[in-house]
DNA sequence: CGGCTTCTTGATCAAGGTCAACCTTTGTGG
DNA sequence: CCACAAAGGTTGACCTTGATCAAGAAGCCG
């Protein structure tokens, strides 16, 4: 039951705004093989939902817990986290948000966001008008289904995280989490070979796997000494994913997931 | 990091089948105030998806982890759980399924269910043809949106559970969970006053909150001795919900949620 | 009445939290 | 360019929480 007094460097979001510089049609993200291709008509509608793109500094909030918003966002570049803060100040990272992910749907659908989204690195994101979503559902049922599938996958990830915290030991949790991130990055073409940039501070990682910072260090050391995973200087190295998977009980699925985007 | 060898009394599901005895139009569940009213056309379509109702014995599986199925289900009566089993045999309860909840969507959308659903009590459920779902999305966008909202709420519950396991102590976790269940039951008119039937074995509860059975007992004792909650003979009593909420950090939300059903 | 399973509790031990110190790195002003 | 401060990383010593094991009590069924 750890606790900490977070410095809470949350800028309220009214940052570098701009009229759309990246047109949806030219979005390099969506052209990648790992994303669902939109029909011309879908693209036009989604394009019409787009209000602007914004850039955020590392550490900034995309939106805050409890906020109501009619905007939803697509992360274009950078890493972020969904985080929930308890009344007592404790913090739990719910999930990592990677390029191509949609965020803020819950805030829009539920009227108030049950979590914050915070930037881990500088971010570029598209701001979309959520109020157009019902119209989108009306005319583009396939896209709606795709969104539903993406949501389901996200939920499944949450279920996995829950299982991790409930039933696995410290090192296994971390190993599992690292592998999962690796897979998500790979499926977007953001992880090649054995290493990748990993802009996640220890404290944050601890708040993800439900450990104290000190104990997280011990577990990381164990992983390092066993040659399973190495995390230093914000670079993650996994020499042998299969070995790590065996250690942490991960199911290494090929995962031909197609991200629906927007 | 608890572990146990589960006896695994999983009947494969081929039970008391019957042609629909309860017509959707006459479904007492959906007539309750806590459920979204369907339009005539929606009702006709949903009705057309219904294949039969079934009854399952307590302990039976509605479907098993890893199974592919084109069926989805609506729970009509009884309690069930979504449960994930790890290769090592450890078990994590992901969520409770209560009357009115839809189950099996993930299994259909993802091609294989990442969890089992097990009956805690005798169950009555409706079996729906999932393959009609895209058609439903095509003609009933409002219903699709409602489904999305329900999914989002479910995910939010998962997030909360995660926060519980990651950041709260044993008794707080349990208190929170009990309150959450109480609210869900109340919103369906299944919990009046201070007590309700609570058909959940200790072992299962332990697997929900990520504790060992022995430690769960200690935590329950503490709740009992402090007059916060009492669980005995499968009856849950919460004398003062507000007090328990204060103790466990629960947000007692009025929650006018409308379940979308089917 | 056994023979089951579940509930309950105590004794003991390991996993993980807390605290405090020290070491890096990075950044800043002189 | 250096001195210093601030923030994060790393580790050890110690203590709390919760896991494990064991064993008795209580309900349930053949």
What is the 3-class SS of A110-158, one letter each residue? HCCCCCEEEECCCEEEEEEEHHHHHHHHHHCHHHHHHHHHHHHHHHHHH
Whether residue B142 has pLDDT greater than 90 = yes
Q: What is the percent of chain B with per-residue pLDDT over 70, rounded to a whole number? A: 87
Work out whether strand B50-56 and strand A235-237 pair parallel, antiparallel, or are unpaired: unpaired
* Contact present, A51 and A127 (Cβ < 8 Å): yes
pLDDT band at B252 (very low <50, low <70, confident <90, very high): low
Q: Do B133 and A115 touch (CB under 8 A)?
A: no
- For residue A83, the chain B residues in CB contact (below 8 A) are none
Q: Please give the pLDDT value at position A23.
A: 72
Most confident of A26-35, A189-198, B213-222: B213-222
A109 or A8, higher pLDDT: A109
Q: Which nucleotide is nearest to A215 (CA to C1')?
A: C16
- For residue A210, the chain B residues in CB contact (below 8 A) are 165-167
pLDDT band at A14 (very low <50, low <70, confident <90, very high): very low
* Contact present, B146 and B36 (Cβ < 8 Å): yes
Q: Pick the residue of A163, A168, A252 with the most B CBs within 10 A to test the interface with B by mutation.
A: A163
pLDDT band at B260 (very low <50, low <70, confident <90, very high): low
Distance from CA of A16 to the nearest CA of B (A): 30
CA of A205 to C1' of C19 (A): 20
Q: Please give the pLDDT value at position B4.
A: 44
Judged by CB atoms within 8 Å, which residues 169-208 of B form the interface with A? 169, 172, 207-208
DSSP state of B91: E
Average pLDDT over residues B192-203: 93
Distance from CA of A134 to the nearest CA of B (A): 7
Judged by CB atoms within 8 Å, which residues 70-89 of A form the interface with B? 82, 84, 86-88
DSSP state of A89: S
Q: A55 - beta bridge partners?
A: A124
What gap in Å lies between CA A38 and CA B34, rounded to an integer?
37
What gap in Å lies between CA A234 and CA A217, rounded to an integer?
14
Distance from CA of A164 to the nearest CA of B (A): 9
Q: Compare CB distances from A145 to B114, B137, B210 and report the shortest one's residue.
A: B137
Whether residue A10 has pLDDT greater than 50 = no
Whether residue A245 has pLDDT greater than 90 = yes
**φ/ψ bin of A236: left (φ > 0), alpha (ψ from -120 to 50), beta (otherwise):** beta
Q: Which nucleotide is nearest to B217 (CA to C1')?
A: C8
Judged by CB atoms within 8 Å, which residues 42-61 of B form the interface with A? none
Q: A84 - beta bridge partners?
A: A92
In order of A248, B2, B5, B193, B212, the CA distances from B87 in angstroms are 10, 14, 11, 42, 19
Q: Pick the residue of A101, A159, A222 with the most B CBs within 10 A to test the interface with B by mutation.
A: A159
Work out whether strand B235-237 and strand B195-197 pair parallel, antiparallel, or are unpaired: antiparallel
Mean pLDDT for all residues in chain A: 88
A96 or B232, higher pLDDT: A96
Q: A75 - beta bridge partners?
A: A125
Q: Which nucleotide is nearest to B1 (CA to C1')?
A: D19
Distance from CA of A107 to the nearest CA of B (A): 10
Average pLDDT over residues B227-243: 94
Whether the CB of A252 is below 8 Å from some CB of chain B: the reply is no
Average pLDDT over residues B213-232: 95
Q: Do A159 and B110 touch (CB under 8 A)?
A: no
pTM: predicted TM-score of the whole model, two decimal places? 0.90
Average pLDDT over residues B124-140: 95
Provide φ and ψ at A227, rounded to 5°. Answer: 70, 25
Q: Which residues contact B247 (CB under 8 A, 6 or more apart)?
A: B171, B172, B175, B226, B228
Whether residue A111 has pLDDT greater than 60 = yes
Whether residue B10 has pLDDT greater than 50 = no
Q: Please give the pLDDT value at position A24.
A: 77
Q: Do B94 and A159 touch (CB under 8 A)?
A: yes
pLDDT band at B89 (very low <50, low <70, confident <90, very high): confident
Whether residue A208 has pLDDT greater than 50 = yes
Work out whether strand A235-237 and strand A195-197 pair parallel, antiparallel, or are unpaired: antiparallel
Average pLDDT over residues B57-70: 94
Q: Which two tokens stand for residue A127?
A: 């701001």
* Contact present, B126 and B78 (Cβ < 8 Å): no
- For residue B155, the chain A residues in CB contact (below 8 A) are 106, 151, 154-155, 158
| Positions of chain D reached by protein Cβ under 7 A | 8-13, 17-22
Residues 169-208 of B with CB under 7 A from strand C: 201-203
CA of B4 to C1' of C15 (A): 18
Of A56, A101, A85, A93, give the one whose Cα is nearest residue A257.
A101
- For residue B153, the chain A residues in CB contact (below 8 A) are 110
pLDDT band at B9 (very low <50, low <70, confident <90, very high): very low
Whether residue B33 has pLDDT greater than 70 = yes
CA of A169 to C1' of D1 (A): 49
Q: Do B167 and A110 touch (CB under 8 A)?
A: no
């Amino acid at each position: 039951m750890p606790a900490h007094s977070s410095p809470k460097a949350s800028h309220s979001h009214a940052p570098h705004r701009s009229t759309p510089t990246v047109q949806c049609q030219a979005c390099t993200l969506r052209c990648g093989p790992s994303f669902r291709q939109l029909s011309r008509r879908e693209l036009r509608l989604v394009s019409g939902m787009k209000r602007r793109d914004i850039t955020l500094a590392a550490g900034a909030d995309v939106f805050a817990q409890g906020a109501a918003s009619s905007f939803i966002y697509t992360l274009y570049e950078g890493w972020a986290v969904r985080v929930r803060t308890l009344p007592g100040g404790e913090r739990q990272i719910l999930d990592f948000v990677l390029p191509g992910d949609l965020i803020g749907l819950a805030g829009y659908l539920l009227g108030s966001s049950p979590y914050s989204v915070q930037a881990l690195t500088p971010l570029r994101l598209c701001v979309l008008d959520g109020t157009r979503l019902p119209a989108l559902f009306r005319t583009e049922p396939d896209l709606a289904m795709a969104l539903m599938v993406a949501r389901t996958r996200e939920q499944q990830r949450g279920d996995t995280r829950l299982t991790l915290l409930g039933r696995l030991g410290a090192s296994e949790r971390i190993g599992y989490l690292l592998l999962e991130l690796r897979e998500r990055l790979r499926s977007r073409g953001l992880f090649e070979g054995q290493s990748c940039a990993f802009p996640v501070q220890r404290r944050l990682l601890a708040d993800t796997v439900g450990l104290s910072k000190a104990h997280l260090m011990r577990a990381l050391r164990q992983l390092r000494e066993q040659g399973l995973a190495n995390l230093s200087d914000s670079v993650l190295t996994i020499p042998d994913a299969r070995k790590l998977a065996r250690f942490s009980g991960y199911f290494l699925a090929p995962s031909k997931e197609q991200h629906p985007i927007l």
